[in-house]
């Protein structure tokens, strides 16, 4: 499903215009990105939790030369699906 299809599905489900659905989806994405970038968790019941995750520094390998390189520690976005979402996807 691409964004246009998502906008159409949300508009139909919520009985709102596609323009309003697009604004709502953009607003939700912006709010989640801002919160996670600020170091906070965002929990959406029935869907899951978006959170920042720490990756420690590690040694990697350059695939072209085989040379060992140091990869710096970083913070990355993470998502953990809610149990209800997992069960719906798996068909349980």
How distant, in Å, are the alpha carbons of 3, 17, 22, 37, 46 from that of 26?
A: 10, 14, 6, 16, 20
Q: What is the pTM of this model?
A: 0.82
Phi/psi of residue 49, each to 5°? Answer: -125, 130
| pLDDT at position 92 | 79
What does each of the 92 residues of the chain score in pLDDT, given as a tens digit? 999 999 999 999 999 999 999 999 999 999 999 999 999 999 999 999 999 999 999 999 999 999 999 999 999 999 999 999 999 999 97
Give residue 28's domain range. 3-90
| pLDDT at position 38 | 96
CATH code assigned at 77:
4.10.520.10
85 CB neighbour count, 10 Å cutoff: 15
Tell me how many domains the chain contains.
1
Phi/psi of residue 24, each to 5°? Answer: -65, -45
């Amino acid at each position: 499903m691409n964004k246009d299809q998502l906008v159409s599905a949300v508009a139909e489900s919520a009985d709102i215009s596609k323009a309003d659905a697009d604004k709502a989806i953009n607003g939700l994405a912006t709010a989640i990105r801002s919160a996670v970038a600020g170091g906070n968790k965002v929990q959406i019941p029935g869907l899951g939790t978006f959170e920042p995750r720490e990756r420690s520094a590690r040694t990697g390998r350059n695939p072209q030369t085989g040379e060992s390189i140091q990869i710096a520690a970083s913070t990355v976005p993470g998502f953990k699906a809610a149990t209800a979402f997992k069960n719906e996807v798996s068909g349980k």
